[in-house]
Structure 1
């Protein structure tokens, strides 16, 4: 009977060991599946981030080229104004000034209204700042439309 009891105890120990090993194996398989799912999610996130970066870079390149072209056009206008081949159209009203002192009459309004050199440079500087600001705003709008909205 001692012999049968020993065999029964060893069989029970083997059965418990098998059950423990199966439970640990199932836990490891679950952990492996969760890890694989996390890796797949991270790979998907990395792919979408790479696509977003490519879209951003393409958009930056396009906007930079447009802004450079506009700046070059402005510089061309500046050169043409300096050379005198182009003029700025100024819509101005010059009110007639009454002479403060009675004296001989003269014609004060014989010349066309024109900008001073400093005002012309200010105009070109403002025009360039407007070009840069509009390009930046357009770039940000496109970035939101193409990159941010797509990533979400």
Structure 2
């Protein structure tokens, strides 16, 4: 009878050991599933971040090219103004309160209104700043529309 009792105890111990091993295996399988889920989420986030960076880089390249082209046009205009092949149109008029000359009349006032060299450089500098600001603003707007709002 002790022989059967020992066999029964070993059988019960084996069953209990098997149940413990099965519960440990199930817990480990759950942990592996959770880890795989986290890995998949991290990979998806990394892919989204990579796409966002690529979109940002493309926007930067496009806006930088547009800004460079605009600055080149302004430099070309500056050169043409210096040479005299182009002119800046100035819409000006004489104020009505100019006293009439009582003595000899001269033709000094007959010339077209024109900018001084300093004012012409200010005009070109302002134009360049406007182009830069518009390009930066458009780039930021595109970045927000395409990258920030597109990532969600």
- Give the structure 1 partner of residue 118 of structure 2: 118
The 2-side partners of 1:29 and 1:8 are apart by: 31
- In the alignment, which residue of structure 2 is the partner of 1:48? 48
**What's the counterpart of residue 86 of structure 1?**
86
Per-residue CA deviation, residues 29-54 of structure 1 (Å, 9 max, x unaligned), is 00011111111111111112111211
Q: Which runs of 5+ in 2 are unaligned?
A: none
Q: How does 1:55-134 map to 2 (within 5 A)?
A: 55-96=55-96, 97-98=98-99, 104-107=103-106, 109-134=109-134
The separation in 1 between residues aligned to 2:44 and 2:82, in whole angstroms, is 57
Q: How far is the alpha carbon of 1:103 from its aligned partner?
A: 6.5
What is the CA distance between 1:72 and its match in structure 2? 0.3
Partners of 2:38 and 2:112 in 1: CA distance:
75
Deviation at 1:6, TM superposition (A): 2.1
Q: Any residues of structure 2 matched to 1:10-25 within 5 Å, and which? A: 10-25=10-25
Aligned positions, number: 150
Displacement of 1:4 in angstroms is 2.5
Which structure 1 residue ranges, 5 or more long, are not aligned? Answer: none
Q: Which moved more, 1:108-117 or 1:15-24?
A: 108-117
**1:90 counterpart SS class:** coil
1:66-119 CA distances to partner (integer Å, 9 max, x unpaired)? Answer: 1111000000000000111111001112215237xx973444633322111111
CA distance in 2, matches of 1:135, 1:48: 26
Q: Secondary structure at the match of 1:43?
A: helix
